[in-house]
């Protein structure tokens, strides 16, 4: 059985390697990082789709005009959302009895059931992602997270030979993944916002104290004025210096 945590850790590591590498990686090089895992063809395709998606992480770029970025991202999300809806229109529709047959085959160990289930589950993934869309959370990123969770859950259920409500298991896995991703992104933004606020506070404090005293304030004076400890102030000072370079 595929180790979900190891798979996700490797996926994140390879994504970072690709982001920082000066040369493009081949499919063989990418999949070599997963050589100790028993990936099905469906998993390999998912890995490549996830890592080679050219639009992934575009929303990570920063802009001083937050409102402009929000409006641009919201418009882009809307367009991508429409594209997904168009793609879904071309996916074969299955009756409930047909879906149940696929679910039974999956639980019995038939890997061929993974592809049709993953295809007709895309609508479910998009509906869940739609609940978490906001200006700085791109629909394609949310859907990618949902798709990764979908494939992992399908792999986990394949051949388990236990009585599961497959549809509910898939929905729960996708919802958890998308919700966790949205929460992580929101937490990162809050931390970034807090950091920017502190840097601004230190900058203004230095300027005011310099005007009042006629000299550059000491770290102790800054700490007393901003109610921050000197260690944190030094870290902020280092960040300011890096930004000014």
Mark which of 34, 52, 70 sits at the end of a domain. Answer: 52
> pLDDT tens-digit profile of 89-115?
888 889 999 999 999 999 999 999 999
* pLDDT score recorded for residue 57: 42
Local confidence band at 64 (pLDDT 50, 70, 90 cut-offs)? very low
Which residue among 37, 52, 67 closes a domain?
52
Which position has the higher pLDDT, 106 or 55? 106
The answer to whether residue 1 is domain-embedded is yes
If one counts every other C-beta atom within 10 angstroms of the C-beta of residue 147, the result is 21
Q: What is the DSSP string of 114-174?
A: HHHHHHHTHHHHHHHHHTT-BTTB-HHHHHHHHHHHHHHHHHHHTT--S---HHHHHHHHH
CATH classification of the domain holding 207: 1.10.10
Q: Which of 11, 29, 52 finishes a domain?
A: 52
37 in a structural domain: yes
**Model confidence pLDDT, tens digit, residues 186-233:** 888 888 878 888 888 888 888 888 888 889 899 898 888 888 888 988
> What is the per-residue pLDDT across 109-165, written as a single tens digit (0 to 9) for each?
999 999 999 999 999 999 999 899 887 788 888 998 999 999 999 999 999 988 899
Note whether residue 60 is domain-resident.
no
- Record the pTM: 0.66
Q: What's the pLDDT score for residue 117?
A: 95
Split into its structural domains, the chain has a count of 2
pLDDT score at 58: 42
Partner residues linked to 137 by β-bridges: 134
- 236 three-state secondary structure: helix
Domain-located, residue 227: yes
Report if residue 165 sits inside a domain. no
How confident is the model at residue 202, as a pLDDT? 82
Determine the structural domain holding residue 40 and report its residue range: 1-52
Mean pLDDT, residues 6-11: 78
Asked whether the predicted pLDDT for residue 72 surpasses 70, the reply is no
Q: Is residue 117 part of a domain?
A: no
In sequence order, the β-bridge partners of residue 39 are none
Residue 152 located in a structural domain:
no
218 inside domain? yes
What confidence tens digit (pLDDT) does each residue in 13-52 have?
888 788 777 788 888 888 888 888 877 776 777 788 777 7
In the predicted structure, residue 241 carries a pLDDT above the cut 50 = yes
């Amino acid at each position: 059985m595929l180790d979900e945590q190891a798979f996700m850790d490797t996926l994140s590591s390879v994504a970072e390697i690709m982001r920082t590498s000066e040369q493009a990686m081949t499919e063989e090089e990418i999949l070599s990082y997963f050589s100790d895992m028993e990936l099905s063809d469906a998993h390999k395709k998912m890995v490549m789709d996830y890592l080679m998606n050219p639009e992934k992480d575009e929303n990570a770029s920063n802009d001083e005009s937050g409102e402009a970025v929000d409006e641009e991202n919201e418009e882009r999300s809307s367009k991508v959302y429409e594209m997904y809806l168009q793609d879904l229109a071309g996916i074969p529709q299955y009756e409930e009895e047909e879906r149940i047959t696929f679910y039974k085959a999956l639980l019995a160990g038939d890997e061929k059931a993974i592809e049709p289930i993953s295809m007709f589950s895309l609508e479910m993934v998009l509906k869940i992602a739609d609940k978490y869309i906001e200006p700085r959370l791109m629909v394609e990123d949310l859907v990618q997270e949902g798709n990764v969770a979908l494939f992992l859950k399908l792999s986990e259920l394949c051949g388990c030979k236990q009585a599961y409500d497959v549809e509910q298991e898939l929905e729960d896995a996708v919802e958890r993944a998308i919700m966790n991703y949205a929460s992580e992104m929101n937490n990162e933004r809050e931390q970034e916002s807090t950091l920017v606020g502190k840097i601004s506070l230190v900058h203004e404090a230095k300027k005011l104290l310099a005007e009042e005293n006629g000299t550059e304030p000491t770290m102790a004076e800054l700490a007393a004025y901003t109610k921050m400890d000197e260690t944190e102030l030094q870290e902020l000072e280092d960040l300011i210096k890096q930004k000014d370079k």
